[in-house]
Structure formats: structure tokens, C-alpha cells
Amino acid sequence: DNTQELLLEFIDPLGKEIHASRGDPDMLVELVGILAMLDIPEFNFEQLVIEYELIDFIKSQLQPGAAEDDLILETVILVGTILSDAACAPLIAESGLVDIMIDLLKQKQEDDEIVLQIVFVWNKLLYYTSTREVVLRHSTALSFLLDLMHDTNDTIRKVCNGALDIIAECDEAWAREIRLKQFQFHNGVWLDMVLGEDAQEGEDLYTTHNEPHGYYDAGRIDDEDDLVNFDQDEAFFMEDDDYARSGRSVIPGDREGKPFAFMALSALQH
């Protein structure tokens, strides 16, 4: 829209001011927030990232104890926004940011907003054929996604499952692991329901049979394809040249349905 286009005039001053404001976290979170909200078709993020050394800046802000949570959140959102430009994907993938975000997720796993944006970044890296392997090589990142596939936050769960769908299509070993986790979850729900209705009957399922009950026999996982569906629309997996810009990475709405992305336009007045 017009507001977005007007921001183009301030891109260079913003890039310079970000480095000049490192000692002022309040100003810094405003400036990073402005860049993170950019949603301009065909914008050259690669030039912006290289000219103002934004990857080094991002890495410095995501180190343990380097920034407060509000700045961390906007910085992770900025990474997702930068990934709207396919040319930036290899820059992010080769920078070591996946490892940094794994450590960040360990530290901030109780913060739904930060978790959501980290998963969104991994999701975008998985979209690109040139960077997909970087995420697939990180078993810790994939294990986190498995843990989050049934998160109580609906938005985290949806973004996580989107990433797992890509992984399942690209790696058969992880596809089996994902199916197993899905199978175990559905069995757990069924067992909870049975045990809740009749505790004694539920106990008998464990104690009166020498073999596992057929319903929750993990050995039958290959026959349980109906428990998870990895079919995707043909456009879901895209080559780099076909990747459609998705705009600002933040997905509006936290667990209470309130927007958690703010527009840091006030910095333009200073």
C-alpha cells in the first residue's frame, strides 16, 4: 500500500541508524520493527542485507543475554521477512542462524510468540530447494518440530505441521518418524478416553493381554496411513524461482486472538 511505498524513502537512513543505535535498545526495537514489517513486492532484500551487514547484526542480537525479548522477537521476524527474497535464503542458511535459533528456542520455549517466529523461519528455509537440506541436517530442529506438532497454541501447531509436511515429502526416514509420533498421539487420546470412562477396563488393556492391544500396536504403523495426510497441493513445494513472496513473516494473533505484531512507525518521526 502507499504506507509501504513511502517507507522506501527511509530504507537507507534506517539501515544506518540500526548500527548507530546499538546502545539504545528502545530505539533499536522500533527500527528493527519497521524493517520487519516491510511487505513490498520485488523489494531487493539481498542488497539491503549485504550493504548494511544485517546478518551480522541479527546474529549479535540473538546471542544469549544480548537483547530483551521484544527486540529478540522483532529480530526473528526480520529474518522471516528477509526470506521473502529467494536470494537471501542461502545467505541465511550459510550464516549459522539455524544453530543460533535452535539454542534460542531452547531458551525461549515458553514464549509462544518467539517460538512461532522461529518455526516460521524454518518453514521458509524448507520451502527453498537451495536451503532445505540445511534444516534437514539439523536433527535437533526436526525434533523440536515433532514436539510442537501438537502444541496447545493453534497457530504454532499449524505452522509446525506445514513444516513437517515438507519434511515428510523430502525424507522418508523422517516421514516414518512423523507418522509414528502422530500414531502415538492418536493412541494416547484414545487411551485417555477409555481410561476416563472406565479406569478398571482401561487397566485391563495393559494387564490382561500378553500382546499389545491391536489398536495401539506401533508395529502396525505402516498400516495407519489414515492417521496423517501428507498430500499437498502441487504449488506447496516451490523451486526458488517460483517462490511467491508471502510478505511480513508474523502471523497475527496470539493464543488469546490479540495481534502481537506492532508497527514501529514512530521512529520515523525522530
Quick check: pTM over 0.75?
no
Helices (H), 37-131: 45-51, 54-61, 69-82, 89-93, 97-107, 112-127
Residue 265 reports pLDDT greater than 70: no
Residue 21 reports pLDDT greater than 70: yes
Could you tell me which of 169, 163, 124, 170 has the C-alpha nearest to residue 146?
A: 163
Backbone angles phi, psi at 184, to 5 degrees: -60, -40
d(CA 210, CA 204): 11
Which of these ranges, 48-52, 181-185, 209-213, 255-259, has the smallest mean pLDDT?
Answer: 255-259
Residue 231 reports pLDDT greater than 70: no
Residue 55 reports pLDDT greater than 70: yes
Q: Cell numbers 502471523 label which residue?
A: 251
Query: What was the pLDDT predicted at 11?
Result: 86
d(CA 261, CA 38): 12
Residue 200 reports pLDDT greater than 90: no
Residue 32 reports pLDDT greater than 90: yes
pLDDT, tens only, 84-125: 999 999 999 999 999 999 999 999 999 999 999 999 999 999
Mean pLDDT throughout 34-63?
A: 91
Query: What was the pLDDT predicted at 196?
Result: 65
Mean pLDDT for the chain overall: 75
Query: What was the pLDDT predicted at 28?
Result: 95
Could you tell me which of 89, 122, 84 has the C-alpha nearest to residue 105?
A: 122
Output the 3-class SS for the chain.
Answer: CHHHHHHHHHHHHHHHHHHHCCCCHHHHHHHHHHHHCCCCCCCCHHHHHHHCCHHHHHHHHCCCCCCCHHHHHHHHHHHHHHCCCHHHHHHHHCCCHHHHHHHHHHHCCCCHHHHHHHHHHHHHHHHCCCCHHHHHCCHHHHHHHHHHCCCCCHHHHHHHHHHHHHHHHHCHHHHHHHHHHHHHHHHHHHHHHHHHHCHHHHHHHHHCCCCCCHHHCHHHHHHCHHHCCCCCCHHHCCCHHHCCCCCCCCCCCCCCCCCCCCCCHHHHHC
Query: What was the pLDDT predicted at 63?
Result: 93
| Banded model confidence at residue 71, pLDDT cuts 50, 70, 90 | very high
Give, as one character, the DSSP assignment of residue 257: S
Which of these ranges, 4-8, 106-110, 114-118, 192-196, has the smallest mean pLDDT?
Answer: 192-196
Residue 26 reports pLDDT greater than 90: yes
